[in-house]
Amino acid sequence: MRPAFFYRLLPYLACLAACSAVNILYFPPGLSFPDEQRFWGSAVHLAATGAFRVGPDLAFEMPGPAAFFALIIRFAGADHAIYAIRAAQSLLLLLQCGLMGSIAKRVWRNDAATFAATSIAAVYPFFLFFQGLLLSETLFDTALLAALAAMFAWRDRGARIDAWLVAACALFATATYMKASLTIMPPLLIGCTALLCGASWRRSAGVTILALTLYCGFMAPWWIRNAVELNAFVPFTTSSGQNLYLGNNPRNPDGGIDWATNVDQAEAARLFAIPNEVARNKAFTAEAVTYIKAQPAAFLIGALKKFVRLWNSVPNAVQYQGVYAFVSLATFVPVLILALCALIRWWRNWPATVPLLFAIGYFTLLYVVTIASVRYRLPIEPLLIVLAAQPLSAVLLAVLGRRARSI
């Protein structure tokens, strides 16, 4: 085995070993969180009946995670599916390592940066933690990174109208099927990328329109299904209004995410009692918008507090202090500092880094307007790792010299 190949393989071996250790030694045989119970229930129902629903609702969340879990339940059986899902998500995390390395290579044109991004991702505690949970995070991040990798490959081929553009739109839609938080961001990001790589404003606008058309085409099956089942146009989910209301109501001045303490219980009960999920979503949205219009200053202060919650260097929840806070400080903070160093030191590379900053800014804005948690920052962290890879690779090159260049 050539030494360079061995070095490139090391992060993947480390990641696989870490995932196995976390899944076997840390997680219990069953489920740990209420959200896992919801995803599991939807997947079991889908596997048994072929119909997607979340409790009584038909479009409470996107169907991708339930479909992925249901497929494994069908093949492995419900008794063994949790272990099989964790094993499958371990493999997805290996794929994420490679995708982050690919994006880093296209952003920085540096093999050492590729190795650095892959190495950080392989042992990053937040990724290892979420791959062991039956949630949407690992699935969403994998599809998002695949879409970004395809988009950068499309850019490097001249941002032409070709199969790479179609692939990027398809993968962005796949990510949206996993989690609705992307909404209409993908076509805008693709158009921005075209403009940054030298396309004219007119051509960039055309690319944006084409990307929007493709993206809508890939999302159309979900829209048609919802129109048939709900007699309404539901582009994403019927739970978005609940998130907006939870983050913007008179009982939540600190931007918390606890339905038990951060809402008026009587008012929330009234809204939850609305039987039609589309009407319920509209009612929650209307209440939140009314509050924002009536209290714009409180909304802005709350948004600032949610920004702090989202970018907190330690978990916000009291039960995740102690060792969890130490792990977060020891990993997230260095990555954030290195990412900022990359933006400052290598500022001339801004056309390549702006798409990453676009996505980071989009997610930040989305969550400071709705609800914010360190958990919701997870899609941002692979992008920070891609940025952080450049200064880390510079250190590798300075320390290891030629050996680092051969990795």
Average pLDDT over residues 24-30: 92
The predicted model scores a pTM of: 0.95
What is the per-residue pLDDT across 98-149, written as a single tens digit (0 to 9) for each?
Answer: 999 999 999 999 889 999 999 999 999 999 999 999 999 999 999 999 999 9
| Residue 122 identity (one-letter amino acid) | A
How many residues are listed for the chain in this entry? Answer: 407
**263: pLDDT strictly greater than 90:** yes
What is the per-residue pLDDT across 272-285, written as a single tens digit (0 to 9) for each?
Answer: 999 999 999 999 99
Q: Quick one: CA torsion of 216, 222, 226, 227, rounded to 10 degrees?
A: 40
In the chain, where the domains are located? 141-178+184-234
HSE (side-chain half, CA atoms, 13 Å) at 44: 14
Q: How far apart are CA 292 and CA 301, in angstroms?
A: 11
Cβ-proximal residues to 53 (8 Å cutoff; 6+ apart), any chain = 42, 45
E runs forming strands in 239-349: none
Q: How far apart are CA 341 and CA 353, in angstroms?
A: 13
Give 168's pLDDT tier (boundaries 50, 70, 90): very high
Q: Give pLDDT, residue 298.
A: 95
Q: How far apart are CA 81 and CA 117, in angstroms?
A: 31
What b/e readout covers 365-378, taking b as 16+ CB neighbours within 10 angstroms? ebbbbbbbbbbbbb
**220 vs 110 pLDDT, higher one:** 220
Proportion of the chain above pLDDT 70, given as a percent: 97
For tokens 């119970």, name the residue. 37
Proportion of the chain above pLDDT 90, given as a percent: 87
57 phi, psi to nearest 5 deg: -90, 150
Q: How far apart are CA 322 and CA 310, in angstroms?
A: 19
What is the per-residue pLDDT across 269-323, written as a single tens digit (0 to 9) for each?
Answer: 999 999 999 999 999 999 999 999 999 999 999 999 999 999 999 888 777 788 8
**403: pLDDT strictly greater than 60:** no
HSE (side-chain half, CA atoms, 13 Å) at 396: 21
